[in-house]
Structure 1
């Protein structure tokens, strides 16, 4: 009970109370804070469906990575543990960015995106062996699709295609990139599990010597 209160119960209650207080002081009503957007606007429950699923991908990647990183056995692979902490923390940042539209409304995309790119490049440079031991293709595919999403957004005015088409392509790349990132995080978290359950090789039983014939 004490561990639950210290790790979960009290922190979550404080987060709820502080969030409610700050948001009400910022001008939101209690109903606006507590009710979902479709309820507040009277729109369909599927409003923003794919966008919300994309946020789930980031949050799931963070949860899987960090939960596994902090539950490693004392003799676990420290390189994978460090990688899980990095990708889990980065997933949380991406989840917050996607959910709160940080790079769209608060910090210029020209600042945020290069920081993300530098982080991924440094991650690949310093942990290349570990990443490719897990699944190098998935890591590079995730980064490439996210980069394509940014590229499509950057050239949308130059290409001259309808905005709706541009959004479908841009968000499609981001959706696939987020799903691929989740896949990589799952593979990284499962490495130690697979090693633990993998059956060990046992030497073959020796071939029995032929029975001696009578008189030999």
Structure 2
């Protein structure tokens, strides 16, 4: 494909790149004007800005990678399933879990339950956890028949690990290193979450490939 044809066929992609990039640049400029936050504090690498060693926060950042990977798998697989005219309910299930995963990732990255919701919106940390729990409960209730057809034991593992991590965050048991225990259990939950949706993605792609090869 020559350059001229590529320019024509990728107009929508170019527009998406421009809109998304401009949106985040706009967020930086808005926060700078509204809250007086230095632009460099938002755009520079966090280890450079904070003047800390490169290993600071590496464990939590690894968790972000798994969150984002899981969200990407959900969204991409939902798209593939929709395009291949697969089960509509399964497509919705993957899409909503993709949005939920993004929300949990943003909460983990920006401490929404500790900083944003309590101090900006006045919602206490326990209240935030309760809202998350209710949201997850209704999604599970809506799609439980779909979940039972998947490797749900892996999803159940992730919820168990998350429940333990939240309990440790709220209770703060004595004689235990809070960072090691809480964050280690949460890591088990995030990785389990990723592999659950990885198994769904590979299953859909495998079934689609088999269907294409059989034609």
**TM-score, normalization by structure 2:** 0.83
2-side partners of 1:145 and 1:78: how far apart?
30
2-side partners of 1:155 and 1:31: how far apart?
37
- 1:100 equivalent in alignment to 2:116: no
Which of 126, 130, 140 is equivalent to 1:114?
Answer: 130
The range that moved more, 134-143 or 66-75, is 66-75
2-side partners of 1:47 and 1:22: how far apart?
29
SS at match of 1:106: helix
Between the two proteins, the alignment pairs up a number of residues equal to 196
Residues 81, 199 of structure 1: alpha-carbon distance in 2 compared, 3 angstrom cutoff: closer
SS at match of 1:58: helix
SS at match of 1:160: coil
2-side partners of 1:173 and 1:89: how far apart?
23
More helix by share: 2
For 1:68, the equivalent position in structure 2 comes to 77
Deviations 1:94-135 (A, max 9, x none): 011111101011222211111222222222222122112111
Residues 194, 74 of structure 1: alpha-carbon distance in 2 compared, 3 angstrom cutoff: closer
Deviations 1:127-178 (A, max 9, x none): 122112111101111111101101112221xx3225xx12211111111101
For 1:210, the equivalent position in structure 2 comes to none
- 1:2 equivalent in alignment to 2:18: no
Deviations 1:159-209 (A, max 9, x none): 3225xx122111111111011111112122222212123489x9xxxxxxx
2-side partners of 1:90 and 1:199: how far apart?
30
Contact 2:29 2:39 in 1 (8 A): no
- 1:152 equivalent in alignment to 2:168: yes
**TM-score, normalization by structure 1:** 0.83
Question: Cα RMSD between the aligned structures?
Answer: 2.0
Structure 1 gap ranges (5+): 203-216
Q: Which has the higher contact order (CA 8 A, sep 6+)?
A: 1
For 1:167, the equivalent position in structure 2 comes to 179
> If you compute each CA radius of gyration, which structure gives the higher value, 1 or 2?
1
Contact 1:134 1:191 in 2 (8 A): no
Q: How far off its partner does 1:48 sit?
A: 0.4
2-side partners of 1:44 and 1:103: how far apart?
26
Contact 1:142 1:177 in 2 (8 A): yes
For 1:58, the equivalent position in structure 2 comes to 67
For 2:149, the equivalent position in structure 1 comes to 133
Structure 2 gap ranges (5+): 1-9, 118-123
